[in-house]
Amino acid sequence: MTAAGESASHGLTPEQAAERLRAEGPNELPRPGVRSLGRIVVDIVREPMFGLLLAAGAIYLLLGDLAEALLLLAFASISVLIAIVQENRSERVLEALRDLTSPRALVVRGGQRLRIPGREVVRGDLIVLGEGDRVAADAIVLACDDLLVDESLLTGESVAVRKATATPAQQRSAMPDFAPGGDDLPAVFAGTLVVRGQGLARVESTGERSRIGRIGQALGDIVSATPRLTRETRGIVRTVALIGLACSALAVVLFGTLRGSWLDAVLAGIALGMSMLPEEFPLVLTVFMVMGAWRLSKARVLTRRAAAIETLGAATVLCTDKTGTLTENRMTIAELRTPDARLRPDDAGPAPWSPAMERLLAAGTLASAPEPFDPMEKAFHALQAKNGGGVPQSLQLARAYPLRPGLLAVTQAWAVEGDRGWQVAAKGSPEAIAGLCRLDPDLVAAVRRQVDEMAAEGLRVLGVAQARHDDPQLPESPHGFAFDFLGLVGLEDPVRDSVPAAVHECREAGIRVVMITGDYPQTARAIAGRAGIENGGVLTGAEIEAMDEPALREAVRRTSVFARIMPEQKLQLVQALKAAGEVVAMTGDGVNDAPALKAADIGIAMGGRGTDVAREASSLVLLDDDFGSIVRTVRLGRRIYDNLRKAMTYILAIHVPIAGMALLPLLTGLPIVFWPVHIAFLEMVIDPVCSIVFESEEEEADVMRRPPRRPDGRILSGIVIAWSLLQGLLAFATVAAVYLGASRAGGSDEEVRTLAFVALVMANVALVLVNRSYGVHPVRQLTHPNRALVWVVAVAGSLIAVALLWAPATGLFRFGGFHWHDLVIAAGATLFLAVVLDLFKAAWRRRLAG
């Protein structure tokens, strides 16, 4: 509806535009919310370990031991600070991924043409459209001349569509609900690209009210579930925490009853609770996700949702769009046909060709815009230039006859220097060109057979004709020329060079590649064949529409190529695949892909050609739009998951000897080994070991030769938990043997504690070496050092040396003397532990790596 003060030639006044911008908001999509720094801090300090450290520190203050209280508080503060930095960095990554730039728009305001940022365009603005412009908002076309628009970001189809001027009735009313993709519609849509012609349009919808915005709003209805791995780790921590609390309460009662010191009993109970609580799980999961996102970024992949990293290794189906994903989203000439010959330019190489082929290509180029934006016209110019040709300088474009609803062909008349005649060329649908050439029925039937053959190969076919016109006046219609039919030109959107190899690797990794496109079945079948996708059958959108849910679930199990698919059906297909038990990764770049990208287990957007909506809906963004990056992403995802499992296996294992050594003295009456300060110190070693060291480990040799892991499989399966407990029990038995032996040898309480603590730290190193790989034994691991492990061992060793040799630290840790023969005993026990565990690992290797 035309507002007061608004005219078809003057547009809005600056004051009206400013008022609407304030009232309706900027022309951009709403930003996703992020957690504030305060919220991150609150979430972290609620962790049980932080509370236990604070409780132990408070008790030491009550006992008057200020040094130990401050040390515990320092340990707590450092752990919380590290976690806050990591969490805050993750939140900021999500914000940085949004493309803040918007296309600039040429608008008419107050009768003046102004170039403004796209976000400042408002409803009622008059926008001027020209070749190469990105449309800033949904708008009604008030006037246009040969206007062609590429709407592939909305429809998925790379062929531009022509636009028509709205009727007076359409101009007087609000914008109807036009669907993009059809020819001769009087509407343009935000995010689409003008490839030819010019026009004037009135903005009807901006921001979230545009078609792009409505798709963005629909994404909000698709709820993303809490990541399975997060739920699993929370459950483990909760279960073990309950057990730990029960054991802590029992320890307090035993210690207080048997030894009479209730304050020491509370400290011993806190130490036992800290030793049993695997609070590293949430922190390690965060570190792995952040570092995984960083490693993926080195491979030109940005991570928007960390949960996708844990899911990559379980992906069983990769759904991919055709245009711009498998293909290059540009047109090339794949075949030229005259009535009695055919030629494929890639096979024939550059000219010289036969005169008939040269005339066919030259005429097609003359029927194209001199400076084209349309992908098909670019293809004509590119091939002509490759063959050393072009539009001769002696020719000047005199008149262009654009596409019309009744004649789907473009005709251009060129003036010849020094000649009163005209050189005329036409290209368009084969039927339209045949009509212009007035071919007899037999020739028309022959042309149709050739068109069908080329279409079956996935080509878009155009007819080409030329004419010589000697009349000084040009006719008002192309029908006034005497055209000669030259032949057919087949164009294709070529498959990316990296795609066949990437599809093959996916197949090797047990991942089925599925192509979903809006193109015709024969085109889809041809593209799938070139990409290496198994296409035993093609299922169309019309066939899907006729299916109920059970039938569709069964169909998607055996079909890998889907054609003539509407945007809402992409979402339906993803949901059907998930219902069939598949773990679905979905790639895409257009707005029409966004709902399916969000609904998929792993949404992968193309960053170069992708829209803001597609990137916001996705889990991962490929910065270089390289389909081959998906394979590298899967490889990295499997490596990250493997290393996370190794880290969690180690965490469970190391807590067994720590908890055992915290409980053993309470049961035997021997000297207490661990107080809260010792547990806090061990946590400062364990956290970086299990996060940094294991995260840095290289992938297993067979990482891409395994089938995808079961989607319902647990990272800590029964066999993994059993392996962790076995390691922990053997480590506890080794350290307990050293502890009991030192006690029976008559060592003082401080000397026994020192030897037991050093033995436990060295047992920790043995567990790290054993868990670094499923197949390589610990001795060989020493010849393939992990740089992070070297640093962690060096720092931890230095801290222990300080605790053993610096008197203030020795007193704080309640350590006694430590001798060289003590080191030999601890090292011998560690070597024995590593050898025994290596024998068990060799027997369990296959089950652990599965």
Which pLDDT does position 433 carry in this prediction?
94
C-alpha closest to that of 538 among 517, 555, 563: 563
Amino acid at 624: D
More confident position, 297 or 532: 532
Look at residue 268 and tell me whether its pLDDT is greater than 60: yes
Burial degree of 415 (CB within 10 A; 0-12, 13-18, 19+): middle
Look at residue 368 and tell me whether its pLDDT is greater than 80: yes
Which pLDDT does position 96 carry in this prediction?
38
Range name among 31-45, 356-370, 576-590, 714-728 with the lowest pLDDT average: 31-45
- The two tokens of residue 599 are 């609904």
Look at residue 30 and tell me whether its pLDDT is greater than 80: no
Q: How far apart are CA 587 and CA 433, in angstroms?
A: 38
Which pLDDT does position 50 carry in this prediction?
55
Range of 54-68, 147-161, 310-324 with top mean pLDDT? 310-324
Q: How far apart are CA 413 and CA 435, in angstroms?
A: 18
Look at residue 139 and tell me whether its pLDDT is greater than 80: yes
| Model confidence band, residue 501 (pLDDT cutoffs 50, 70, 90) | confident
**Range list of H helices, 406-484:** 430-437, 441-456
- The two tokens of residue 547 are 């299916």
Interval 502-522: pLDDT, tens: 888 888 888 999 988 877 788
Q: How far apart are CA 494 and CA 322, in angstroms?
A: 10
Range of 388-397, 638-647, 674-683 with top mean pLDDT? 638-647
Number of neighbours of residue 421 by Cβ within 10 angstroms: 12
- For residue 196, the surrounding DSSP H or E stretch is strand 193-205
Number of neighbours of residue 371 by Cβ within 10 angstroms: 11
C-alpha closest to that of 774 among 691, 725, 844: 844
Q: What is the largest CA-CA distance in the chain?
A: 121
Rounded to the nearest 10 degrees, how much is the dihedral formed by the CA atoms of 473, 476, 479, 483? Answer: 40
- For residue 798, the surrounding DSSP H or E stretch is helix 787-805
Rounded to the nearest angstrom, the gap between the alpha carbon of residue 196 and the centroid of all alpha carbons in its chain is 33
The mean pLDDT value of the chain amounts to 77
- The two tokens of residue 613 are 């909506």
- What is the mean pLDDT of the segment spanning 292-317? 76
C-alpha closest to that of 686 among 718, 728, 723, 722: 728
Burial degree of 198 (CB within 10 A; 0-12, 13-18, 19+): middle
Share of the chain above pLDDT 90, in %: 12
Interval 402-454: pLDDT, tens: 877 678 899 999 998 777 789 999 999 899 999 999 999 999 999 999 998 88
Name the residue with tokens 């203030």: 808
Would the CA dihedral through 813, 816, 818, 824 be positive or negative?
Answer: negative
Which pLDDT does position 227 carry in this prediction?
57
More confident position, 464 or 49: 464
Look at residue 350 and tell me whether its pLDDT is greater than 80: no
Which pLDDT does position 5 carry in this prediction?
37
More confident position, 305 or 322: 322
Tell me the C-alpha to C-alpha distance, in Å, between residue 809 and each of 143, 267, 662, 800, 814: 84, 20, 21, 10, 8
Name the residue with tokens 């085109």: 523
**Contact between residue 824 and residue 817 where contact means Cβ atoms under 8 Å apart:** no
C-alpha closest to that of 841 among 671, 650, 676, 688: 650
| Model confidence band, residue 458 (pLDDT cutoffs 50, 70, 90) | confident
- In 369-506, which ranges are E strands? 395-401, 409-416, 422-428, 460-469, 484-492
Which pLDDT does position 721 carry in this prediction?
84
**Range list of H helices, 63-206:** 66-96, 152-155, 168-172
Range name among 146-155, 256-265, 400-409, 628-637 with the lowest pLDDT average: 256-265
**Contact between residue 549 and residue 565 where contact means Cβ atoms under 8 Å apart:** no
**Contact between residue 495 and residue 327 where contact means Cβ atoms under 8 Å apart:** yes
Tell me the C-alpha to C-alpha distance, in Å, between residue 628 and each of 262, 516, 524, 625, 641: 64, 18, 20, 9, 21
- The two tokens of residue 801 are 């040396």
Q: How far apart are CA 462 and CA 404, in angstroms?
A: 16
More confident position, 63 or 13: 13
**Contact between residue 462 and residue 447 where contact means Cβ atoms under 8 Å apart:** no
Which pLDDT does position 229 carry in this prediction?
65
**Contact between residue 32 and residue 94 where contact means Cβ atoms under 8 Å apart:** yes
Rounded to the nearest 10 degrees, how much is the dihedral formed by the CA atoms of 786, 789, 795, 801? Answer: -110
Q: Which residues fall within 8 angstroms of residue 387, CB to CB, at 6 or more apart?
A: 350, 351, 353, 358, 361
**Contact between residue 458 and residue 527 where contact means Cβ atoms under 8 Å apart:** yes
First CA to last CA across the chain, in angstroms? 64
Look at residue 7 and tell me whether its pLDDT is greater than 60: no
Q: Collapse the DSSP code of 684 into the 3-class scheme (helix H, G, I; strand E, B; otherwise coil) and give the result.
A: helix
Which pLDDT does position 224 carry in this prediction?
46
Let me know how long the chain is: 850
Which residues lie across from 484 on neighbouring strands? 466
- The two tokens of residue 832 are 């024995």
Which pLDDT does position 437 carry in this prediction?
94
Share of the chain above pLDDT 70, in %: 73
**Contact between residue 716 and residue 648 where contact means Cβ atoms under 8 Å apart:** yes
Which pLDDT does position 97 carry in this prediction?
35
Range name among 326-335, 453-462, 708-717 with the lowest pLDDT average: 708-717
Which pLDDT does position 3 carry in this prediction?
39
- The two tokens of residue 826 are 């601890």
Which pLDDT does position 389 carry in this prediction?
74
Q: Collapse the DSSP code of 133 into the 3-class scheme (helix H, G, I; strand E, B; otherwise coil) and give the result.
A: coil
Which pLDDT does position 455 carry in this prediction?
84
More confident position, 662 or 96: 662
Look at residue 67 and tell me whether its pLDDT is greater than 70: no
- The two tokens of residue 365 are 């180029």
SS3 of 83-116: the string is: HHHHHHHHHHHHHHCCCCCCCEEEEEECCEEEEE
Which residues lie across from 427 on neighbouring strands? 410, 464
More confident position, 205 or 846: 205
Burial degree of 112 (CB within 10 A; 0-12, 13-18, 19+): exposed
Interval 782-817: pLDDT, tens: 556 677 777 777 877 787 788 777 877 787 777 777
- What is the mean pLDDT of the segment spanning 358-382? 88
| Model confidence band, residue 282 (pLDDT cutoffs 50, 70, 90) | low
pTM summary value: 0.65
More confident position, 425 or 742: 425
More confident position, 608 or 816: 816
Separate counts of helices (H) and strands (E) for the chain? 32, 22
Q: How far apart are CA 844 and CA 847, in angstroms?
A: 6
Rounded to the nearest angstrom, the gap between the alpha carbon of residue 573 and the centroid of all alpha carbons in its chain is 19
Interval 418-429: pLDDT, tens: 777 899 999 998
Which pLDDT does position 78 carry in this prediction?
60
Range name among 65-69, 677-681, 841-845 with the lowest pLDDT average: 65-69
Name the residue with tokens 């073990």: 240
**Contact between residue 850 and residue 709 where contact means Cβ atoms under 8 Å apart:** yes
- What is the mean pLDDT of the segment spanning 596-616? 70
- The two tokens of residue 396 are 């000047």
- What is the mean pLDDT of the segment spanning 659-672? 75
Q: Which residues fall within 8 angstroms of residue 421, CB to CB, at 6 or more apart?
A: 468, 469, 470
Amino acid at 552: L
- What is the mean pLDDT of the segment spanning 188-215? 82
Percent of residues in the chain assigned helix, strand, coil, to nearest 5: 55, 15, 30
Q: Can you spell out the DSSP letters for 634-650?
A: HHHHHHHHHHHHHHHHH
Q: How does 739-753 read in b/e, with b if 16+ C-beta sit within 10 Å?
A: beebbeeebeebbbb
**Contact between residue 704 and residue 638 where contact means Cβ atoms under 8 Å apart:** yes
Look at residue 222 and tell me whether its pLDDT is greater than 50: no
- What is the mean pLDDT of the segment spanning 517-533? 83
Q: How far apart are CA 672 and CA 803, in angstroms?
A: 18
Which pLDDT does position 846 carry in this prediction?
61
Which pLDDT does position 445 carry in this prediction?
93
DSSP secondary structure code for residue 520 in this structure:
-
**Contact between residue 166 and residue 107 where contact means Cβ atoms under 8 Å apart:** no
| Model confidence band, residue 580 (pLDDT cutoffs 50, 70, 90) | confident
- What is the mean pLDDT of the segment spanning 739-749? 81
Range name among 98-102, 103-107, 136-140, 285-289 with the lowest pLDDT average: 98-102
Phi, psi of 501 (to 5 degrees): -65, -40
